[in-house]
Amino acid sequence: MINVKDAIRNGSTALGIEFGSTNIKGVLVDEKGAVLATGSFGWENSLIDGIWTYSQDEILNGLKSCYTDLRQAVEDKYEVKPDRYGALGISAMMHGYIALDKDGNMLAPFQTWRNSNTQKAADELTELFKFNIPLRWTIAHLYQCMLDNEEHLKDLAFVTTLDSYVHYLLTGEKVTGVGDASGIFPIDSKTHDYDQKMVDKFDRLVKKAGYTWRLRDVLPKVLVAGEEAGRLTVAGAKLLDETGSLKSGIPMAPPEGDAGTGMVATNSVAPRTGNVSAGTSTFAMLVCEKPLKKVYREIDMVTTPTGYPVAMSHANNGTSDLNAWVRLFGEFASLAGFEMDPGKLYGLLYKNSLNGDPDCGGLLAYGYYSGEGITHLNEGRPLFVRQPDSNFNLANFMRSHLYSSLGAVKLGLDILLKDEKMAVDRIMGHGGLFKTKGVAQRYLAAAVHAPVSVLETAGEGGPWGMALLALYMIDKKEGETLEDFLDTRIFSGMESDTVEPNADDIAGFEQFTARYSDNIGIMKAAVKTLKN
């Protein structure tokens, strides 16, 4: 405890803060990457005028509230008030669109990754680049604004993502990490920068539209893990710490997207490794040894925080509908006089799903709160359906929603593992879905037909991964790669739980997937006919 107190006083620590879809979380680590304290702040996006967004005030208040919670946790546990850190890093949900003028003012509402109003732009850019541009990517949002002749584009000085924007507020630097940048615009993994041939093609569109700016003028500069991305300014310190005790000058790591921090948190940054992050959105990342054979609209090509190419199966919809049903059962328990801790409630329902039929008894769920690129839907309608003779019980009901939280991602993974025959030595699971031991992990193993491991740190997720990237920046040895740093200095000896796939589960999940895929027309009909 004395050594920890000294480390906090001396700033021999690293802090990662990640803006997730429903939670902003901070994780403080020591020089070995061990978690010292955490803090959090819950928030929710709003659907305003058809746009999923968070206001600027919500972003700033969330940042400060999360940091305050973490700072208080440190004071309560260690009786030390932190006023410095060895390094600091910001991460957030990837993609989306934040447009600023030359004075740093927002020109338009922040559009999150959840928005799917960019179909025309994404289609045209995919054809132009011969490279898949998903609807949620920043460049798709920017081009859609151009197609719609948005007035604010004439004043555009900076367009970026949430983590890069918060980093800009804290440092004044217009930069981002290469992993986050790969969800803004296609990356050339040889140069670790935006693909110049595609930049040139886009600039011709910009010029034709009559704008004076060019793409590199307005996008953040790309940095790789280990580089310094600026320092916390006096104004930035005031934004973070309402007590005014936090000192400026703290080195800042390149901001990263939640995909990159998830890769770090699961030690999945080297070729032939992979991870599945399951939360509000669910995505699978497989680090490539070689390029894919062709362009798939269902697969994103992004990078690790050091620039390795990564094939990503990304589902906009993950556990939102599942969580809504758990809350409903919690309301019933309360009504019946049984107030239940959320962790216990989730555990009971998840574990009971193991008693269900391998194929969920013929039940089918689509937890689509928003559009889903993998299944080519631009809007969502959460939906649960069954046949009159389906085996409708609680275990199958929960199992169907757990399967569905992985359903769209599995369709993308099937392309990579079955069609592309990608070689993967290990798949790691992390995120809230895996907190109940041995349930979602078992279902994921069935989905990928391979063993799935969950580390003891799985619950810390992306914020811990961001703290590790900050630690790597200040503590790496000369020539030490991120892969070596994680292998030898962070994950060496760390306990993990591995689940092998069960033959009955595999067969059942394949039956469910076929039902899920064959009946997507139900979702299309619901989007068309179910209106407010």
Residues of the chain with CATH 3.30.420.40: 258-317+409-501
Structure tokens at 176: 């981002």
Token pair for residue 133?
A: 């541009």
Residues 507-531: tens digit of each pLDDT: 999 999 999 999 999 999 999 999 8
CA dist 249 and 237 (Å) reads 9
**pLDDT tens string 281-324:** 888 999 998 889 999 998 999 999 999 999 999 888 999 999 99
Query: For residue 153, how far is the Cα from the chain centroid?
Result: 28
Q: Is the dihedral of CA 229, 235, 239, 242 positive or negative?
A: positive
Q: Which residue has the higher pLDDT, 314 or 164?
A: 164
Distance of alpha carbon 412 from alpha carbon 425, whole angstroms: 18
Q: Exposed, middle or buried: residue 177 (CB in 10 Å: 0-12, 13-18, 19+)?
A: buried
- 2-10 vs 56-78: helix axis angle to the nearest 10? 140
pLDDT at 376 over 80: yes
Q: Tell whether the model's pLDDT for residue 161 goes beyond 90.
A: yes
Average pLDDT taken over every residue of the chain: 94
Q: What is the mean pLDDT of residues 445-455?
A: 90
Provide the token pair at 205: 């569109």
SS3 readout for 348-364? HHHHHHCCCCCCHHHCE
Vertex 6: Cα angle to 2 and 9 (nearest 5): 140
- Give the C-alpha separation, 406 to 415, whole Å: 15
| CATH number corresponding to 258-317+409-501 | 3.30.420.40
Distance CA 314, CA 325 (A): 23
Question: Exposure string (b/e) for 110-121, b if CB count within 10 Å is 16 or more?
Answer: bbbbbbbbbeeb
Q: Where does the pLDDT of residue 414 fall: very low under 50, low under 70, confident under 90, or very high at 90 and above?
A: very high
Identity of the amino acid at 299: I
Rounded-to-integer distance, Cα 285 and Cα 78, Å: 37
The H-assigned helical ranges of 79-214 are: 119-129, 138-147, 162-171, 178-181, 196-209
pLDDT tens digits for range 16-39? 999 998 899 999 999 999 999 999
DSSP letter string over 40-77?
EEE---EEETTEEE--HHHHHHHHHHHHHHHHHHHHHH
pLDDT in tens, 325-338: 999 999 999 999 99
Per-residue pLDDT, 127: 97
Interval 408-419 mean pLDDT:
93
What pLDDT does 277 receive?
A: 84
What is the per-residue pLDDT across 354-374, written as a single tens digit (0 to 9) for each?
999 999 999 999 999 988 988
Confidence of residue 455 (pLDDT cuts 50, 70, 90): confident
pLDDT value at residue 527: 94
Read off the pLDDT band of 159 (50, 70, 90): very high
Q: Which of 221, 217, 247 lies closest to 232 in space, CA to CA?
A: 247
d(CA 312, CA 298) in angstroms, rounded, equals 9
Query: Which stretches within 184-257 are classed as H helix?
Result: 196-209, 215-218, 234-240
CA distances to 75, 76, 170 from 70, rounded to whole Å, are 9, 10, 18
Closest-CA residue to 469 (of 239, 179, 185, 198) = 179
- For residue range 48-103, what is the model confidence (pLDDT) as tens digits? 998 999 999 999 999 999 999 999 999 999 999 999 999 999 999 999 999 999 99
Lowest mean pLDDT among 74-78, 125-129, 162-166, 285-289: 285-289
- Rounded to whole angstroms, the Cα distance separating 36 from 14 reads 10
283 against 393, higher pLDDT: 393
Q: What stretch of H or E contains 29?
A: strand 23-29
pLDDT of 458 above 60 = no
Express each pLDDT in 472-498 by its tens digit.
Answer: 999 999 999 999 999 999 998 788 889
CA distance to 122, 286, 330, 339, 434, per residue, from 344 (Å): 43, 33, 10, 10, 14
Residue 411 has pLDDT above 90, yes or no: yes
pLDDT of residue 465: 94
Using 50, 70 and 90 to split pLDDT, how confident is the model at 2?
A: low
> Over the stretch 178-230, which tens digit does the pLDDT of each residue have?
999 999 999 998 999 999 999 999 999 999 999 999 999 999 999 999 999 99
Q: Which strands sit side by side in the sheet containing 35-42, from one edge to the other?
A: 35-42, 23-29, 14-19, 87-92, 256-257
How far, CA to CA in Å, does 256 sit from each of 37, 355, 396, 460, 494? 21, 40, 38, 16, 24
- Spatial distance between the Cα atoms of 310 and 332, rounded to a whole number of angstroms: 43
Let me know: does 402 contact 365? Beta carbons within 8 Å: no
pLDDT at 1: 64
